Amino acid sequence: MENLTKDSESANVLHLPVRKPPVALKVKSMTIAVSLKCSVGVVVAADRLFTHAEDSTSLGAFGSYDRKVFRSEGNHHAALVTGAGNKNALYSLQGSLLVRLRVEDTSDARLLPLSVKEDLEEELAVLSGKLGVIPDLSTLVAISEEPFGVQVLRSDGLVVRLAGDTEVVGIGENSLTQFLLDTLYRPTMDEKQGAALAVLIIQLAKKYCPQYCGGMTDVSYFYGVAPYHYDLRDDEVDALERMLPRENQRSLSDIIEQASRLIS
């Protein structure tokens, strides 16, 4: 009888599930950054908006504006770094990598272009160790050195590979961007033409993906037989952004007008 009473009391007790601590959501950072190899150099460009959110409608999403194109110059080299992903991870990586390149430039610059891939891999591994996770980060690293010329590397997480003629990281990896590259890019274009194309790509990303891309556009490039470097001024970027959509609309209108004549 005593056991029956205890069993009856136990049956009337409401057993609540054990409450687990909340799991932090992985925060993604949306942006756009591009690299374009040109006739004797390379163009690197990015917008300035870091947008952090789980998705475009997440509560608590926030944005900040800062530069995403970084450069280093030594006696024998010049380097450009940009990327998409966690802002702190990007800033930490570019700082350590560019310092490392400057140190190697002063020690034995002849080995520098051969070691950049290894340098990037090692710095990413160090960063991953500090964070305790693989960094939410994609980078584009361009280095120019006479007589080796220009090479561009791309990293995604901890994976590093030699970049192609055109690379896009961030939200800009979509069909619109690919259409522009397939239509307008050619390897023989000079650096000024490449810079204008980079401005157009990022401008359209800012227009059609304003929740992810925005702010000013930063554009840098190498050119010539030595690593000569140039940063587009804000007024030059502004002039390009005011002219390009107008000319693009006019050209497309002309194409539609010509195409309509093919219809009987």
Q: What pLDDT shows up at residue 26?
A: 46
* pLDDT tens sequence across 11-63: 555 555 555 554 433 445 568 999 999 988 899 999 999 876 554 444 445 67
User: What does the alpha-carbon distance between residue 260 and residue 264 come to, in Å, rounded to a whole number?
Assistant: 9
Of the given ranges (44-48, 74-78, 96-100, 192-196), which has the lowest mean pLDDT?
74-78
CB atoms within 10 A of CB 66: 11
Q: With 0-12 CB in 10 A as exposed, 13-18 as middle and 19+ as buried, what is 199?
A: buried
Q: Residue 10 is which amino acid?
A: S
Please write the tens of the pLDDT for every residue from 191-205: 999 999 999 999 999
Give the mean model confidence (pLDDT) for residues 206-219.
Answer: 90
Q: Where are the alpha helices (DSSP H) in 109-233?
A: 112-131, 175-184, 191-208
pLDDT digits (tens, 9 = 90+) for 114-157: 688 999 999 999 999 999 999 989 999 998 876 667 889 999 99
pLDDT tens for residues 232-256? 999 999 999 999 888 877 887 888 8
Higher pLDDT, 105 or 82: 82
Supply the pLDDT for residue 9. Answer: 53
Three-class secondary structure of residue 22 per DSSP: coil
Mean pLDDT over 94-103 rounds to: 92
End-to-end CA distance of the chain: 99
Are 167 and 27 a contacting pair, CB within 8 Å?
no
CATH code given to domain 24-233: 3.60.20.10
* Whether 41 contacts 221, CB under 8 Å: yes
Identify the pLDDT of residue 31: 84
List C-alpha distances in Å: 2 to 6, 11, 13, 43: 6, 14, 17, 84
Surface-to-core class of residue 90, CB atoms within 10 Å of its CB (0-12 exposed, 13-18 middle, 19+ buried) = buried
Q: How far apart are CA 168 and CA 122, in angstroms?
A: 23
